[in-house]
Amino acid sequence: MGKITDAKTRKGVMARIQYKSIPTGSISGRFNDSTFSFQIFGTARYQVTAEAEGYNARTVIVDPREINGEKQVLKNIELIPTGETIVLENLLFEQGKAFIDKKSFAELDGVVHMMKVNDKMEIQLEGHTDNQGSPQANLDLSQKRVEAVKKYLVSNGIGRDRIKTKAFGGTKPVASEASEQARSRNRRVEMRILKY
């Protein structure tokens, strides 16, 4: 179960919501609402896609292994207004390296699915680091990270020509870097939808 909200205002958004079990799609359903809830059977994972006018579509993966004490899997979906970037929140790298942590694959698989469903979609991956260390090294690292994400998407069937990359290093922080938590927020890859 979850809510569909505007990523900026946190208000509910009426959306077309579709869910289906993966990989077969044998269990599926649809809603037109700002919330969703459905029964999970066995160990199947589900793809949930939300679409709304004026927003970029977003797909998330619901995994029964994430069940809480109330026997529910909570998975809210934040929709980004068209033209703005989406931070890939669950995209993790080893510190100072461009190796993608396996825990990130579900997030990237959601991007793959979204680009397969919307086969004209083109994106730009934008890499950011914190501002610790050499500016040039940070720029190089942010470039290697977006290239690693691009390589993952291409290896899963997305055309190379549909993915542009841009590196910013530590020049565009989203948080002042007084703490490790702030530095962690600045180490990110964002996705900008160029064509939908």
The 10s digit of each residue's pLDDT in 55-85 is 888 888 888 888 888 888 888 998 888 877 8
Instruction: Tell me which residue of 73, 77, 16, 69 sits closest to 39, measured CA to CA.
Output: 73
Contact 165, 119 (CB under 8 A): no
What does the block give as tokens for 29?
């359903």
What are the distances in angstroms from CA 23 to CA 6, 27, 28, 43, 102? 29, 10, 12, 12, 19
Give every CB contact of residue 193 below 8 A, 6+ residues apart in sequence: 56, 82, 83, 86, 121, 122, 123
- Confidence label for 8 from pLDDT (cuts 50, 70 and 90): confident
Residue that is written with structure tokens 């068209």 in the block:
82
- The radius of gyration of the chain's CA atoms, rounded to the nearest angstrom, is 17
| H-assigned helices in the chain | 105-117, 135-155, 180-186
Domains of the chain, each with CATH number or no CATH: 2-79 (2.60.40), 85-195 (3.30.1330.60)
Contact 90, 106 (CB under 8 A): yes
Model pLDDT, residue 2: 93
Average pLDDT value for the chain: 89
150's tokens: 């691009």
- 24-28, 137-141, 172-176: which range is least confident on average? 172-176
Place of tokens 């720029």: 139
Return the pLDDT at 177.
65
Residue 188: CB atoms within 10 A of its CB come to 22
Cβ 2 vs Cβ 79: under 8 Å: no
**Chain segment 109-166, per-residue pLDDT in tens:** 989 988 887 788 899 999 998 888 899 999 999 999 999 999 999 999 999 999 999 9
Whether pLDDT at 7 is above 70: yes
Q: How high is the pLDDT of residue 78?
A: 86
Instruction: Find out whether 56 and 193 touch, Cβ atoms under 8 Å.
Output: yes
